[in-house]
Amino acid sequence: MGNGIYGIWLRDMKKFFRVRSHFISSIVRPMLWLLIMGGGLKPIVQPIQGVDYIQYIFAGIVSMSIIFAAMQSAISIVWDREFGYLKEILVSPVPRTAVVLGKACSGSTIATLQGALTFIFLPFIGLSIPLLSSFYALIAMFIIGFSIATLGIVIAGKLTSFESFGSIVNFLLLPMFFLSGAVYPIPSAPTWLTPLLYMNPLTYGVDLLRYILLDQSTFSPLVNLSVLLAFSAVMLSIAIPLFKRES
Q: What is the pLDDT of residues 5-19, one digit of tens each?
A: 888 888 888 888 887
The count of structural domains within the chain is 1
Instruction: State the pLDDT at residue 90.
Output: 66
The whole-chain average pLDDT of the chain stands at 85
Nearest to 145 by CA among 90, 86, 216, 63: 63
Q: What is the mean pLDDT of residues 147-173?
A: 80
Confidence of residue 246 (pLDDT cuts 50, 70, 90): low
The mean pLDDT of 156-182, rounded to a whole number, is: 80
Cβ neighbours for 21, distance < 8 A, ≥ 6 positions apart: none
In whole angstroms, how far apart are CA 3 and each of 6, 94, 101, 102?
A: 5, 8, 11, 10
Single out the residue of 146, 180, 161 nearest to residue 73, CA to CA.
146
Nearest to 108 by CA among 100, 96, 118, 120: 100
pLDDT for 26-51, tens place per residue? 778 888 878 777 777 776 676 677 78
| For range 59-79, the mean pLDDT | 86
Asked if residues 145 and 108 have their Cβ atoms less than 8 Å apart, the reply is yes
How confident is the model over 190-197, as a mean pLDDT?
A: 90
pLDDT at residue 206 is higher than 90 = yes
Residue 85: predicted pLDDT: 64
Domain encompassing residue 42: 2-244
CA distance 11 to 14: 5
The pLDDT-based confidence of 162 (bands split at 50, 70, 90) is low
Confidence band for 231, pLDDT divided at 50, 70 and 90 = very high
